[in-house]
Structure 1
Amino acid sequence: MIDTNQIAAALEAREYKQAAQLIKQFQKESPENPWVQYYIGRYYELTNNLDKAATTYKQILRDITNPKIASQARQGIQRIETAQQNLREQAIESAKNDPSSQEPGLLILEAVSPEDKPAAIQNISRIFQTDIYTTRMQIQSRGWRLYKTGPIAELRVYGQELIGVGIPVFWATLADIQKIQIFQVQYFQSVSSPAVVCKDRLDRLGSIEFSWSEVTQQVEGLLPIFIDIMDYSPNRRNEEFRHKEITQDYAQVCDLHLPSRNCILRICDQNYEFQQGFDFTKSSEAIPASPTGKNKKARRPNSPQVPQSTTRINWNNLLEMLDEQLDVTVWSEFTPFAETVLDYTHMLSKIDSHIEVDRKSETPWDPAFQLYSGLAFMRNRGNS
């Protein structure tokens, strides 16, 4: 009969092979003994398998009522959290030796499925030492969230740890996003052999010929266009009339990513010259189809009761053409992402939006879209 003191002594002496044999024999002899799970957890902890150790200790707290074992399990969890925090700090300090490690960066939390959410909440709370309620409110079921900003070395360490526990994240530096070339498309000269007339960041007009196969992903977004109105309320004693900003309309933006050229072709319905180049006033049936026709989708009006403007009809025809030609990932959840970044006004003020929309005043929505598209571009390259 195995004595638990034998197991404890073997673990204390770092005789892990012997300890494993004793634990296995102990489990065979006394499978219902609650100390079995504790020593399994302790073995994992001492052999530096911290994730399995933490899982075992937490299972003990759920399933075992023995107060002494529960106390030992809590102490084990505390030791593991302290060890992981120390490892994290060491990794951050080590990464700081790289001169580029202090570049400002962003850590993006992707959507978490409902079934994965409980575990994600626990892990994020542990890694960032935040309370459960706050973490629960920050996890989104759709779209991305800007979760943390700071030196890229620190974000990379956090990101790798999060990925290690199955949480979808990625990170990028603002400098890398700003290195992406943005060309504002004025119109398509040709669709079958794609060519566009566009402006660069210096507002110089030129043309770009490319292949549809160079486009690896597409990013779409709606940018609100605001107007000021006089808002009347008889309930206000001193000021019945007030200026109020409301959304009048939306500018539609579509980005085509060409990573092999480190550039984005940006198309916006507010400045696209539909009277030039390829004729999008034709019906969608007249638009040339790709050989595969894989990605065809119907671009229906937002509301069948409201007649569409000519620009909107032409824009939908343009999008249908892109659907015909491309079979790529389409990122279209800009709005929920923007709602997580609009308060970062200082950061957004440093980002050139490369968006030409007639506005009375600047809005953070424009650089927020540039950030969203740039992040999608960097995500496609992979974390580094």
Structure 2
Amino acid sequence: MLEPSLETIKNAYDQGDYNQAMANLQALLQEQPEAKDRPPVQLYLGLLYAQQGQRQEAEAVLRRLLQYSHNRQVLHLARQALSTLLKDGPAPASSTQVSPAQASLTQTPPAQASTQESSSPAEPASVQSGLPESWEPAELVFLVWSPAETLERPEQQRCAVTLAQHLPSTDAYTLQLHMRRGGARVLHQGEAAHLWPLYQALRQAQVPVQLVRSSQVQKLILLPGQQLRDEGDGWGSFQPLSVTGDSKPAYRFAWASVRRLLITSARMTTLQVREVEIQQTRPWSKPQTQIEEKMVEVVQDYGQVCDLHLADPEAPILRLSDRDFAGNSPAPAWEHLMTWIQNQCPQAEVDRSGDVFLQEIIRPEWRNLPTVPWSGYYPPEQPYLRGGTALQFYSSLVYLSHQKS
């Protein structure tokens, strides 16, 4: 429930009487000057500025609101208003409104409509949708935002507006915030036959996106290691991690082939046996408490991870962690190791976007991800990366989306 003073502003705004709403808002601020910092007041101030054509003032108020407010409803409305401001004019009115996302996913472009009407019903779905021959129409694919380099602000705005017009549950302002942080982002996932036309339309609009197949992710090997050496003559050796005690052959690679260093700091956890109380409830009986031993996650502290992405599309991802690394000839400290690696391969791009990604893995869509195969495993008593499956998935997406076709 809004208080009466805010209720009068809301009612006038909802009825389209923006002058009266602004008058009510100014009256509130005269009576209660301290109310100017409250999120609902700031929200209506930004909305009214936008309705009166004061775009710069509206954008400044709404941006400040997104930076300091924690009210979910206010943040949602502010993002929507900013997204509208970033677009060139209001969307055309229609009696039967269809969102741009629904149109892009359900309608067929005119060039393809005539082709599909003339095609035989027995023709395979992959041919109708224009998929490559090796792709299955029902296979899971990921639409990934993956610019080759950081885009300028005007180009970010253009791409964000285009994406917001085609994708569900996105807005241009939130997309721009992520673009400024850098790194890849999963924009949408679904069947290949449904996402292929959308992918082609975005590529035609010069939006830097890639379509990554789930089968590609599952074939990619992530190799955890415990030692990295310089063998001279431009070559390095990577000793894979072994938790079973058997020695594994070192993986040799050229330092010049390292294209990217994905450096991430994340929380480390262990799996430990703990006694847990479990209440069992049965019909027509009292609840009974039973103590069972279960494996539970225990948070330790922060760990460091560095993934080496090589240019060879058949090469594995080489992963180093400060928990497994046995030391290096220059210095065992992690910061010194990162400096040493960057000196060995100065051409490699340093990508720290994994930190931003790990802040978002709580979302439900990250719980069932295709896992990148390991060459080894972490036993329960050893610390492992919290959200490790999601980080493996993210690292593989960055790796695959930047590979040259």
Instruction: Give TM class, smaller chain.
Output: 0.5 to 0.7
Deviation at 1:324? 0.6
Q: Percent of pairs identical after alignment?
A: 19
Letter aligned with residue 103 of structure 1: E
Q: Match for residue 374 of structure 1?
A: 396
Q: Match for residue 350 of structure 2?
A: 330
Name the SS for the 2:402 alignment partner.
Answer: helix
Residues 134 and 380 (structure 1), Cα distance of their counterparts in 2 relative to 1, 3 Å cut: closer
Q: Deviations over 1:240-286 (max 9, x none)?
A: xxxx9896422211111224242222111111112xxx4243xxxxx
Q: Match for residue 95 of structure 1?
A: 130
Tell whether 2:187 aligns with 1:147. yes
* Aligned-partner Cα distance in 2 for 1:265–1:227: 22
* Aligned-partner Cα distance in 2 for 1:279–1:376: 30
Name the SS for the 2:190 alignment partner.
Answer: strand
Deviation at 1:180? 1.8
* Aligned-partner Cα distance in 2 for 1:363–1:196: 20
* Aligned-partner Cα distance in 2 for 1:201–1:330: 29
Residues 314 and 371 (structure 1), Cα distance of their counterparts in 2 relative to 1, 3 Å cut: same
Q: Match for residue 162 of structure 2?
A: 123
Residues 153 and 210 (structure 1), Cα distance of their counterparts in 2 relative to 1, 3 Å cut: same
Name the SS for the 1:371 alignment partner.
Answer: helix
Q: Deviations over 1:280-312 (max 9, x none)?
A: 43xxxxxxxxxxxxxxxxxxxxxxxxxxxxxxx
Q: How does 1:15-26 map to 2 (within 5 A)?
A: none
Question: Does the 8 A contact of 2:160 with 2:175 survive in 1?
Answer: no
Deviation at 1:176? 0.6
Deviation at 1:84? 9.9
Question: Does the 8 A contact of 2:225 with 2:241 survive in 1?
Answer: yes
Name the SS for the 1:370 alignment partner.
Answer: helix
Tell whether 2:190 aligns with 1:137. no
Name the SS for the 1:190 alignment partner.
Answer: strand
If the length of structure 1 is used for normalisation, what is the TM-score?
0.55
Tell whether 2:313 aligns with 1:263. no
* Aligned-partner Cα distance in 2 for 1:271–1:147: 33
Q: Deviations over 1:177-216 (max 9, x none)?
A: 2212222222124353422221489986111222211222
Q: How does 1:29-44 map to 2 (within 5 A)?
A: none
Q: Match for residue 321 of structure 1?
A: 340
Q: Match for residue 170 of structure 1?
A: 210
* Aligned-partner Cα distance in 2 for 1:191–1:264: 20
* Aligned-partner Cα distance in 1 for 2:263–2:307: 6
Letter aligned with residue 147 of structure 1: L
Residues 338 and 98 (structure 1), Cα distance of their counterparts in 2 relative to 1, 3 Å cut: farther
Residues 168 and 95 (structure 1), Cα distance of their counterparts in 2 relative to 1, 3 Å cut: same
Question: Does the 8 A contact of 1:146 with 1:340 survive in 2?
Answer: no
Q: Match for residue 249 of structure 2?
A: 206
Q: Match for residue 369 of structure 2?
A: 348
* Aligned-partner Cα distance in 2 for 1:255–1:191: 20
If the length of structure 2 is used for normalisation, what is the TM-score?
0.53
Deviation at 1:329? 1.4
Residues 351 and 97 (structure 1), Cα distance of their counterparts in 2 relative to 1, 3 Å cut: closer
User: Equivalent of 1:106, from 137, 142, 145?
Assistant: 142
Name the SS for the 1:252 alignment partner.
Answer: strand
* Aligned-partner Cα distance in 2 for 1:177–1:120: 26
Q: Deviations over 1:85-137 (max 9, x none)?
A: 32188588423684623321111235775434554444234323x47x74543
Question: Does the 8 A contact of 2:157 with 2:172 survive in 1?
Answer: no
Letter aligned with residue 127 of structure 1: H
Residues 96 and 115 (structure 1), Cα distance of their counterparts in 2 relative to 1, 3 Å cut: closer
Structure 1 unaligned blocks of 5 or more: 1-57, 63-69, 72-77, 229-243, 282-312
Question: Does the 8 A contact of 2:222 with 2:392 survive in 1?
Answer: no
Deviation at 1:220? 1.4
Question: Does the 8 A contact of 2:129 with 2:197 survive in 1?
Answer: no
* Aligned-partner Cα distance in 2 for 1:349–1:83: 24
Q: How does 1:290-329 map to 2 (within 5 A)?
A: 314-326=333-345, 327-329=347-349
Q: How does 1:268-287 map to 2 (within 5 A)?
A: 268-274=321-327, 278-281=328-331
Question: Does the 8 A contact of 2:268 with 2:386 survive in 1?
Answer: no
Deviation at 1:157? 2.6
* Aligned-partner Cα distance in 1 for 2:140–2:385: 22
Rg larger in 1 or in 2? 1
Question: Does the 8 A contact of 2:242 with 2:376 survive in 1?
Answer: no
Q: Match for residue 46 of structure 1?
A: none
Question: Does the 8 A contact of 1:349 with 1:364 survive in 2?
Answer: no
Q: Match for residue 259 of structure 2?
A: 216
Name the SS for the 2:394 alignment partner.
Answer: helix
Deviation at 1:354? 6.5
Letter aligned with residue 105 of structure 1: V
